[in-house]
Amino acid sequence: MKVGVIVFPGSNCDRDMYHVLTDVFKLDTEYFWHEKSLPKNIDAVVLPGGFSYGDRLRAGVIAAHSPIIKDVKKLAEKGTPILGVCNGFQILVEAGLLPGVLLKNTSLNFMCEWTTLIVENNKTPFTNQLRLHQEIPIPIANGEGRYYIDEDTLAELKKNNQIVFRYGKAVNGSSYRIAGVCNKEGNVVGMMPHPERAVEAEINPIDNKPSTLIFKSLLKTIGVKN
Amino acid sequence: MMPNYLVQVIIENKPSISDPEGATILDDLVLKDNHSPISQIRTGKILKFTIKEKDKAKAKAVVQKVCDDLRIYNPLVSKVTIEVFNA
C-alpha cells in the first residue's frame, strides 16, 4: 500500500504528514515533487499544508496549475482517496476538485489555535471510522481559512452529503461553519485544520484519539482494496 | 511595429461578498472620531500588464482571456475590471 505526499514550492507541512503516515501508521509513503508524475496505482494522495508559492495572488491558485495536478485529477476520477489539508484544501478548491473558495479569515488575523470539529459525513475514506457528530479536538493554523459558498451551492452540498466537517463554534466566518468538504463521489476530501498535528498524545493537549481515527479510516479504506 | 499597452486589471470581490478589510479601514480608521460622508470602502487588488499588441481592443481581450483561463480572479467570488492605457 503506497501513499503519496505532494510537495509544492513553499509546502511546509509535508514532513509532519510524512512522519505521521510513516512512523505512526506504518504506511509506505513517498514524497512527490509537484513536477513529477503520480503512479496510476497509488493507493492514496495527500496534499499537505504550507504556503505554496507564498500564497501569491491567492492561496493555492498557482499550485493548482502544477503539472502533478493533472495526475491528481485522473486519480480523483478513478476514485482514489485524496486528502487536502489546509493549503492542500486551498489547492484542491482552486483546481476545481472541490466546491467553494477559501477567503481571508474574518478576523483578518492568522489564527493558530485549538478548535473542535464535528463530523458531518462518516462515509468518506477519511471519516469511516468516526461516529456521526463525533467531536475532534484539532489545531488550525491559517490566514485564509474562511470557507465561502453561496446559498444555492450550500443547499447542493447538504443534499449530496458533501459537508464532511463543521467547526463546533464560529471561528473564521466560514459559511455554515464548514471546515471540510468532499466531492460528490466522496473520495476527495479537503479540510482546513491539521489532523497530522493532533494524532500524537505528546502534542495533543486534549484528546488524540479522534484524529487518529481519521488516519485509521484511510487504513481501513486502502486495506479493503487490497 | 506593435505598440506597448498598459492593461490595468482590478480584482475585487463581488458586492455580495463581505469585505472585512474594507470595513475595518472604514470603521476603525476613516470614521473613527469623525463624521464622514464616506459610507463604504471595498478593497481590491491591481495587476498591471505590459503587453505588445496591435491595438487596445486586442490587448484587452488577451488579458481578459489570461485572467479567465488561469483563474487570476476566482469567478465564484470576484470580478475583474479591465482598462487599457498607452504604455
Q: What is the pLDDT of residues A127-146, one digit of tens each?
A: 999 999 999 999 999 999 99
Of A57, A100, A150, the CB nearest to B72: A57
**Distance (Å, whole) CA A157 – CA A160:** 5
Quick check: B6 and B46 in contact, CB under 8 A? no
The separation between CA A210 and the C-alpha centre of its own chain, rounded to angstroms, equals 15
Mean pLDDT rounded to a whole number for chain B: 93
B64 pLDDT higher than 60: yes
Q: Which pLDDT tens digit goes with each residue over A25-55?
A: 999 999 999 999 999 999 999 999 999 999 9
**Distance (Å, whole) CA B31 – CA B46:** 25
**Distance (Å, whole) CA A206 – CA A102:** 27
**Distance (Å, whole) CA A84 – CA A179:** 12
Read off the pLDDT of each residue in A87-111 and give the average, rounded to a whole number: 96
Is A101 in contact with B77 (Cβ distance < 8 A)?
Answer: yes
Catalytic residue among A13, A34, A86, A144: A86
**Is A182 noted as a catalytic residue in this protein?**
no
Is A108 in contact with B21 (Cβ distance < 8 A)?
Answer: yes
**Distance (Å, whole) CA A45 – CA A47:** 7
Instruction: Enter the C-alpha cell of residue B52.
Output: 505588445
Read off the pLDDT of each residue in A156-179 and give the average, rounded to a whole number: 98
| pLDDT, position A26 | 94
pTM summary value: 0.92
Read off the pLDDT of each residue in A57-81 and give the average, rounded to a whole number: 96
Q: Name B83's bridge partners.
A: B8
| pLDDT, position B33 | 67
Which residues in chain B are contacts of A61 at CB distance < 8 A?
A: 71-72, 74
Read off the pLDDT of each residue in B38-66 and give the average, rounded to a whole number: 97
Strands (E), A19-59: 28-33, 44-47
A225 pLDDT higher than 60: no
Task: Quickly count: other Cβ atoms within 10 Å of residue A35's Cβ.
Answer: 11
Q: Say which amino acid occupies A178.
A: I
Which residues in chain A are contacts of B74 at CB distance < 8 A?
A: 58, 61, 94, 101
A224 pLDDT higher than 80: no
- Measured CB to CB, residues of chain A less than 8 Å from chain B are 57-58, 61, 64-65, 94, 100-101, 103-104, 106-108, 148, 150, 173
Residue of chain B whose Cα is closest to the Cα of A95? B71
Which residues in chain A are contacts of B18 at CB distance < 8 A?
A: 106, 173
Q: Say which amino acid occupies A122.
A: N
B59 pLDDT higher than 60: yes
Is A64 in contact with B71 (Cβ distance < 8 A)?
Answer: yes
Strands (E), chain A: 2-7, 28-33, 44-47, 82-85, 101-103, 111-119, 135-142, 146-148, 163-167, 178-182, 188-191
Of A94, A103, A106, the CB nearest to B71: A94
